Amino acid sequence: AQSVTQLGSHVSVSEGALVLLRCNYSSSVPPYLFWYVQYPNQGLQLLLKYTTGATLVKGINGFEAEFKKSETSFHLTKPSAHMSDAAEYFCAVITGFQKLVFGTGTRLLVSP
């Protein structure tokens, strides 16, 4: 069965610093992987996705993620954090019948 593990329930960075949120997946078939962001009291917004093709995927708000099959990872990065990036981030993998399986989430804190 497909699953994802997000390392670190909280990540703190300073404004302007590199953001790195970690996600490892487990899948018996080639995975489709997603990153979603959730701002307080809101739903989930799609940041980016990997299905097939190029392993470096660019998303909205300057985020990108790289699919590494050998490491079963799909880490999310942003070169320079902004205060508005403070939110909860979820990595997810999709199963055969289109069910999303989410990680437990990582809360990103950005300090001035």
Partner 1 sequence: ETGVTQSPTHLIKTRGQQVTLRCSSQSGHNTVSWYQQALGQGPQFIFQYYREEENGRGNFPPRFSGLQFPNYSSELNVNALELDDSALYLCASSGGTSANQETQYFGPGTRLLVL
User: Among residues 17 and 94, whose Cβ is nearest to partner 1?
Assistant: 94
- Spatial contact of 84 and 108, defined as CB atoms under 8 Å apart: no
Report the interface residues with partner 1, using CB under 8 A.
Answer: 32, 34, 36, 41-46, 49, 51, 90, 92, 94, 97-105
Smallest separation, CB 110 to partner 1 (Å): 20
- What is the closest distance, in whole angstroms, from the C-beta atom of residue 66 to partner 1 in the complex? 19
- Identify whether the C-beta of residue 18 lies closer than 8 Å to the C-beta of residue 110: no
Give CA–CA dist 61/86, Å, rounded. Answer: 12
